[in-house]
Amino acid sequence: MTAPERRVTARTKARRRAVDVLFEADQRDRYDPLGLSDLLQDRLSVTAAQTALPQYSADIVDGVATHLRALDDLLATYLQGWTLGRLPAVDRAILRMAAWELVFNDEVDDTTVVDEAVKLAADLSTDDSPGFVNALLDRMRLLAPAVREELRGTSAGA
């Protein structure tokens, strides 16, 4: 029996490209709102990929840059016994992307956000990462409505 085919949507591709930019920022020590915004502008004009950076990728990176402190604080709350700095850089990028989608993007349902993040972790990170990403994001998903309300009120301009 073969494995079921995984549907790759435009948003799936855009998420992966956004994770690439977030990962690059982390590796280049440009992980602050201004550094992320500058790198995003660079990637919108010059990219190593065959195609231009999709608009949804730009939306994700811009959203993470805009709300970086709030997202990192939120992730730190759910990391029980870990810090963001201890995680593999690719996991940080995936979690930041997914946290932004869970809290600040009403266009995608929470289950899809978690599933897509877990698939990215399976494709890009360690063998343990998909389970870790799933557990952390699922805890966040369960409390997403309250978290959305709180963060949307406090992170404008953060």
In this structure, is residue 79 part of a structural domain? yes
- The CATH number that applies at residue 103 is 1.10.940.10
Task: Give the model confidence (pLDDT) of 64-120 as tens digits.
Answer: 999 999 999 999 999 988 899 999 999 999 999 999 999 999 899 999 999 999 999
Q: Would you state the pLDDT for residue 13?
A: 94
In this structure, is residue 1 part of a structural domain? no
In this structure, is residue 5 part of a structural domain? no
Distance (Å, whole) CA 35 – CA 25: 7
Residue 146 half-sphere exposure toward CB, CA atoms < 13 A: 5
Long-range contacts of 78-82 (CB under 8 A, 24+ apart): 78/136, 78/139, 78/140, 79/136
Computed on alpha carbons and rounded to an integer, the radius of gyration of the chain in Å comes to 15
In this structure, is residue 123 part of a structural domain? yes
Q: Which domain holds residue 107?
A: 10-154
Between residues 150 and 123, which one has the greater pLDDT?
Answer: 123
In this structure, is residue 24 part of a structural domain? yes
Mean pLDDT estimate for the chain: 88
In this structure, is residue 32 part of a structural domain? yes
In this structure, is residue 142 part of a structural domain? yes
In this structure, is residue 4 part of a structural domain? no
Distance (Å, whole) CA 16 – CA 28: 18
Total domain count, the chain: 1
CB contact burial 6-26 (16+ within 10 A = b; e otherwise):
eeeeebbebbbbbbbbbbbbb
